[in-house]
Amino acid sequence: MPNRFSGKVVVVTGGAAGLGRAFALAFAREGAHLVLVDIDEAGMRETTRLVEQAGGTASSHRCDLSREDEIGSAADAILAERDHVDVLINNAGLHAGQIARDFFDVGLEKWQHYFAVNCFAPALLAEKLRSGLANAKGVIINQSSMASYVPATAYGITKATLNAFTFAMANQYAGDGVRAVAIAPGLMATEAAQEGVEDANWERLKSMQQVGRQGTPEDIANLGVFLASDEGSFINNQVYLCDGGNSLRGWRG
């Protein structure tokens, strides 16, 4: 069903690269207008180029998602351009090398930064885009992680918290006709996923996959398109694990 999102607006945070870029391209191929939100302006320009190459359109807004004032400014700019937001994909996140490490000596400042970007920014951006989401009877998709199922690291703890935010969002926005779901990717063949993981541990993790390959950004983006589509319109208040059948939840250790 091509062009399922023709005339619709899809906001993607972290849209400058990786999974965010994959989301942008997947929705562009379905006819959506993409609104990219990221701190990396050069990366957003490249994503915009690729979106246009795929036949789509895009606009972008530079935003440091650890700052509430910048989140507010980006949301105001988005709503000034469009009165509806059909899909908000809270994809941006960070792990700063803590994805496979214990959380000792992280320190309060880094903890606060993790939570600001990974947990509070999705909630704040959704709140500030509430009128646009309500006008469209839209959907919020939060980017979680399989690490949230056994949150033994700083990264996993923030993603478990984001799962809790997802459930809260589904309840809080129900009166607006807005759905909220999350996707928890498994082991992804991305640069960000491999950062901070030693080569030997990476090979061990790959061997845990029940499906005989690693996940790709497109696997996650395709799930996002389905969840946001009319075909997924009865799905709400859920976190979807997309991990190739990996049942060993302590894999980041």
Number of other residues whose CB lies within 10 A of the CB of residue 151 = 19
SS (H, E, C) 149-208: HCCCCHHHHHHHHHHHHHHHHHHHCHHHCCEEEEEEECCECCHHHHCCCCHHHHHHHHHC
The Cα–Cα gap between 89 and 177 comes to: 17
Identify the active-site residue in 114, 155, 173, 240.
155
Q: Virtual CA dihedral for 90, 95, 96, 98, nearest 10 degrees?
A: 180
The Cα–Cα gap between 36 and 39 comes to: 10
> Residue 10 is encoded by which pair of tokens?
């899809």
Residue 149 catalytic? no
Running DSSP on this structure, what letter comes out for residue 215? B
Task: Name the residues annotated as catalytic.
Answer: 155
